[in-house]
Each structure stands twice: as structure tokens, then as C-alpha cells.
Amino acid sequence: MYRKDEIIVRIGGAAGDGVASMGQSLAKIFTRQGLFVHGLNYYQSVIRGGNVGWNVRAANHPVRSQGDYIDIVIALTGLAAETYGRELREGGILIVDERIRFDESVLPANAQILKVPLVKTAQTFDLRLKVLKNTVALGILIRMLGINFEIFQHMLEETFGSKGEEVVKMNLDSAMAGYQMAADLPEYPHELRFSNEPQMFISGNEAAAVGLMAAGLKFSAAYPMTPATSILHFLAKQAPKYNLVVKQAEDELAVINMAIGASFSGVKSACATSGGGFALMTEAVGLAGMVELPVVVINSMRGGPSTGLPTNTEQGDLNQLFGASQGDFPRAIMAATNVEDSYEIIVEAMNFAELAQIPVLVALDTYLSEHFETVKPFNLEPEIIEREKPQIKEGETYLRYKFT
């Protein structure tokens, strides 16, 4: 059912068109307006071309899904206009470049089509950078929603500040051109209440990575595998600031053995993969059990079997987690339920690995790992069990850390 106290925007185009950066920028603008936001990336591949989309749902109430319809589509290609335009609600709006040709008959009968000169406007600032059409389109949308341009300006300055003043200026000029262009367009009717209440906009994988750091992580290894890869990216980016060692290994066998070796040397370690990568790790899970070493392994589950469907969600790896390696040995298996829980359960997993001196396996899935939500700020100083403190009291029979 259509609600005026929320808005659902789908941005679509080809891989390489900057669709994800557009979607994240819009979601952050909504977040800074005090709205509850849900963001989801639709992609078949990260190879250039094809069709990808970014869905942003913003509301005055908590939102946990992408919704059942679309209010506004920003289409950067004809394929995106047809693919996502057909999902518009009755009376929904399609914003598309005036040069794009597509089958308008697939849209709902009363859909509004706004054909605007996105590329032409972008090229007045730089003939080479057609990607500036994205900023023009967002400028139009911001004006239609009645959002203050300064919010958008600050977002652009943060996003492009590292690329130099010239790039910042081109994007600001493009955004203002779109904002001014929308003066002749009707405002979008909504009942969103804007505020300045602070919230975080974060994905499940990012929340898990923050949880690892908050729990005292010092070493992490990974081999890029969708949909766990963004944990590697996040930790690698934060490594210099937080004194972490983050290694990209040649395969998943090396990944878990490096994590076990780091644990053996005395530091907290963890690794992240998906189901196919975890299949390769299973013998080493048994090694961690045999030598009683704490290590956390995150399995962000995706469709299978084998290489399977990397961008589809599935939760079919529970038996694999139960049966990893041969023989019987203690292990803990945990699963996160939402973005906040992705943070909290990782902290719990790291602590339990230290307490019990066993491997702890944590299950996420593609949807949880890769979608974004607004959440309240985390407690970044949780109670943690330190590695150097023995958990067995003196006088007991088995002294874990005592040389005998």
C-alpha cells in the first residue's frame, strides 16, 4: 500500500555508471535528514555493462526491507527505464535523459515520465565526464523532495574532497544545475518529517567488521569472495589507523591457516568468506579444534551448489557449519538476525572463542551482508575478553597457559 510518510527510489543503469555511489549518496542525505533508511544493491555482476540498480527506501518509521513498489525511478539507460519503470506504483515518476529511447508501454498507464537533459547539462561542465549526469539527476530529485541544497553540497564535498577542488567544483556545479532545473517541475507530494537526529547508515558486513575491531581483532586474512568481500575492503581501509594486519591471500586454504597461525602467535584473528570458500577451509577448522585455538570464521552464505549464484541470498550452509572437518570436536555456531545483531554477535563470537579456546563459526547471508540500514550508534567499547588473561584459575588441573 502506498504511504506518504515514506519514499522508495530506484536508481538504475549499467555497471560502471556510478549507480552505487548515487544510491549511497541519496541514502546518506536521507539519513542526515533524520529519516529511517534501507538501501539495497541489485547487481548481476561487477563487470562493466549489464543492468544494476540501487534501491533507497526512506521513512518516518523503521524500515527493514526494500518495499513492495517504487515511487521514483532514475534511469540512466533504456534497459533500466524498462526494467524498473514497470515496478512503479500508480502515479509514480520516471526521471530519464531526454536522449534515451525505451518502450514506454511497459510503464503503468498513469506513470509520469520526466525527460530531462541530464547528459547535455553534464557536458557543459566537462565533455569527458558523462558520469556528472548522476549528480544532475540527484540535484533534480533533491529539489523535488524539498531538501535543502546545503545537505547535498556537504555530501558532495565529503565524497569528492580527496579528488581535488576541480572535481568537487564540477560536481557542485552539476548538482546546482539540476537543482535549478527542477524549479520548473512539480514538487513530489510527501509527508516525510525531516530532523537532525544522528543515526548511522551501515551494511551488515560493515557492522560485522566494526564488531571485529571493537572486540580486539589484530589480524585478518581474506580471499575476495562475494558477498563477504566488503569485510576485507573495510578492514583494509581501517588497518593503518587501528594497527591491524590485513592480508589478501592467494586462496581460502591460506586464509584460514594464516588466521590460525596468527592466533597461535598470540593475537586475536578472524577471517570471512562465503560457502564455496568455507568448503575449502573445513580441514583447517578441524586443526583449530585439535590444537584448541580461538579463531572466528564468518560465512556469508550465497546461493549454491558450488560456485552457485553469488548475488543471490540463501541460508543453506548450516549443515556445512555443523559438519566442517572430520571427527567430533567442540565448535560454536552463531547467526546474526539483522544489521545491529551483525555487530553484537561478532563481539560475542570473538569473546566466546577466547573463553572456550575453540573455533567459532558465524553465519550471515547475502541480503544481510550487503544491504544498508540506519541504526543507532553502536557501543564501541563493549566488554571483551583479552587474549593475554588466562581463563583457568590457578590450582585447577588443566592450566592452559602454564609451561609444565
Rounded-to-integer distance, Cα 41 and Cα 20, Å: 7
CB within 8 A of 159, min separation 6: which ones?
21, 25, 171
CB 228 within 8 Å of CB 300: yes
- CA-closest candidate to residue 387, choices 217, 212, 213, 208: 217
For residue 254 the three cell numbers come to 591460506
Phi, psi (5° rounding) for residue 303? -60, 145
Phi, psi (5° rounding) for residue 271? -145, 160
- 3 state SS of 124: coil
Whether 230 has a pLDDT exceeding 70, the answer reads yes
CB within 8 A of 370, min separation 6: which ones?
40, 41, 203, 204, 205, 227, 230
pLDDT interval class at 239 (50, 70, 90): very high
Looking at every residue in the chain, the average pLDDT score rounds to: 92
* Cα 366 off chain centre by: 10
What is the mean pLDDT of the segment spanning 147-168? 90
- CA-closest candidate to residue 314, choices 367, 236, 358: 367
Residue 292 backbone zone (phi > 0: left; psi -120 to 50: alpha; other: beta): left
Q: How far is CA 385 from CA 93, 183, 382, 388, in A?
A: 53, 58, 10, 9
Rounded-to-integer distance, Cα 328 and Cα 332, Å: 13
What whole-number percentage of the chain has pLDDT above 70?
Answer: 93
| One-letter amino acid of 167 | V
Domain with CATH 3.40.920.10 in the chain: 6-197
For position 331, what pLDDT does the model report?
97
For position 402, what pLDDT does the model report?
62
Domain 201-375: CATH superfamily is Thiamin diphosphate (ThDP)-binding fold, Pyr/PP domains (3.40.50.970)
Domain with CATH 3.40.50.970 in the chain: 201-375
How confident is the model over 175-196, as pLDDT tens digits?
Answer: 999 999 999 888 999 999 998 8
**Between residues 179 and 16, the one the model is more confident about:** 179
For position 346, what pLDDT does the model report?
98
For position 396, what pLDDT does the model report?
66
For residue 232 the three cell numbers come to 576485507
For position 188, what pLDDT does the model report?
93
Residue 86, burial from CB neighbour count under 10 angstroms (0-12, 13-18, 19+): middle
Whether 126 has a pLDDT exceeding 90, the answer reads no
pLDDT interval class at 249 (50, 70, 90): very high
Q: How far is CA 14 from CA 162, 209, 230, 298, in A?
A: 25, 29, 21, 31
For position 127, what pLDDT does the model report?
57
Rounded-to-integer distance, Cα 57 and Cα 72, Å: 11
**Between residues 8 and 402, the one the model is more confident about:** 8
How confident is the model over 34-53, as pLDDT tens digits?
Answer: 999 999 998 876 666 678 99
Question: Range with the lowest mean pLDDT among 125-129, 263-267, 298-302?
Answer: 125-129
Whether 399 has a pLDDT exceeding 90, the answer reads no
Sign of torsion, CA 233 234 237 243? negative
Other residues' Cβ atoms within 10 Å of the Cβ of residue 301: 27
Whose cell is 534497459? That residue is: 79
For position 315, what pLDDT does the model report?
94
pLDDT interval class at 393 (50, 70, 90): low
What is the mean pLDDT of the segment spanning 102-129? 88
How confident is the model over 318-371, as pLDDT tens digits?
Answer: 999 999 999 999 999 999 999 999 999 999 999 999 999 999 999 999 999 999
Whether 390 has a pLDDT exceeding 60, the answer reads no
Segment holding 92, helix H or strand E? strand 88-97
For position 103, what pLDDT does the model report?
96
**Top CATH class, 6-197:** alpha beta
What whole-number percentage of the chain has pLDDT above 90?
Answer: 79
